[in-house]
A and B are shown apart, each in its own frame.
Chain A
Amino acid sequence: MGVPFETLLPYGVILVMFGITGGALGGLQHMQNGGKRGRHNTDMWDRVRVPIGFLEWRGLMLTSLQQMMDRDRRLTGYLRGQSDRVEAAPGYELNSAWRCEKRFL
């Protein structure tokens, strides 16, 4: 006596929903990394924690990033952007951020 197919419908729903979630998260990660594989295992080569408000102002929503990656963002405009031009664009030498306390601003 076989199992009626209605029994398996919830499992189908579960599978489809996992698929949608995974696809959406993978697509989001792909988008955030600019189509490249993600960085992982990044060391303490100055883990700079930039306040979230600053990142929102720059149009990014990540909470912690590395100094070199932050430098890439200052150079190219994207956290994962890369460029091999020898001289920086004008204005780069002045857009470094000083982290300071509220009372000094």
Chain B
Amino acid sequence: MTAREPRFNHHVLVDTTPLPDHIPKVKELGVSSAPLMSASFFIGARCKPYNDDYMKCKTEANGRGELDCMREGRKVTRCAASVLSDVNKHCLAQFRAHWQCLENNNQQMYQCRFYERPLNKCVFDNLGLEKVIPGTPEGTVPVHLREKQIFQRKFT
């Protein structure tokens, strides 16, 4: 309309109008940031096809992805919820220990390998999901499997 820069810092609008009925509902995820960070690699292990599908849809939607890709988005949400409910069902103690450690250590994964190993083992044994860090160079030990670690806050 004009060349004026929009300034979005004036007011906050909270619109409580619910979604129209013709859009299928899906429950939003209730996990907060640290549990999401803790479970992220397991979500990636199970939901990679859905996530890639959603990102491809958004790329090809030419800026209308939020509207046109809601079907794919619902699949992403449902898949992540399935992973999290499974982790909660089978590995709740290890999961809580890990995300509480993350929350207390600035959500840095390298501070919490001590709690991450039992969680990875439990999730692999019960759900069959393995943590794989994408882009790890060939022939090197992934960073979460290394025996020796130099920079880490002392804790237990």
Most buried by B among A40, A82, A89, A104: A82
Check if A51 sits within 8 Å of B85, measured CB to CB.
no
Residue A87 at the chain B interface, CB threshold 8 Å: yes
Give chain A interface residues in 48-104, CB to chain B under 8 Å.
Answer: 49-51, 54, 68-69, 71-72, 75-76, 80-89, 92-102, 104
Chain B residues within 8 Å of chain A by Cβ, number: 37
Find chain A residues with CB under 8 A from B7 CB: 101
Q: A36 in the interface, Cβ–Cβ < 8 Å?
A: yes
Chain A: minimal CB distance from B109 (Å): 14
Distance of A75 from chain B, by nearest CB (Å): 5
Q: Does B11 sit within 8 A of A, measured CB to CB?
A: yes
Cβ of B100 to closest chain A Cβ, rounded Å: 8
> Does B147 have its Cβ within 8 Å of any Cβ on chain A?
no
* Interface membership of A13, Cβ < 8 A: no
Q: Determine if B81 and A97 form an interchain contact, defined as CB atoms under 8 angstroms apart.
A: no
Nearest CB in chain A: distance from B38 CB, A: 9
Given A98-B12, A105-B13: A92 in contact with B32 (beta carbons within 8 A) = no
Q: Which residues on the A side are within 8 Å of B100 (C-beta)?
A: 82
Contact B12 A87 (CB under 8 A): no
Q: Which residues of B contact A87 (CB under 8 A)?
A: 27-30, 81
Task: List the A side residues contacting B106 at CB < 8 Å.
Answer: 37-41
B10 on the A face (CB < 8 A): yes
Q: How far is the CA of A104 from the CA of B7 in the complex (A)?
A: 11
Which positions in A face B, CB cutoff 8 Å?
36-41, 49-51, 54, 68-69, 71-72, 75-76, 80-89, 92-102, 104-105
Chain B residues in the interface with A (C-beta under 8 A): 6-19, 27-35, 81, 84-85, 88, 92, 95-96, 99-100, 103-107
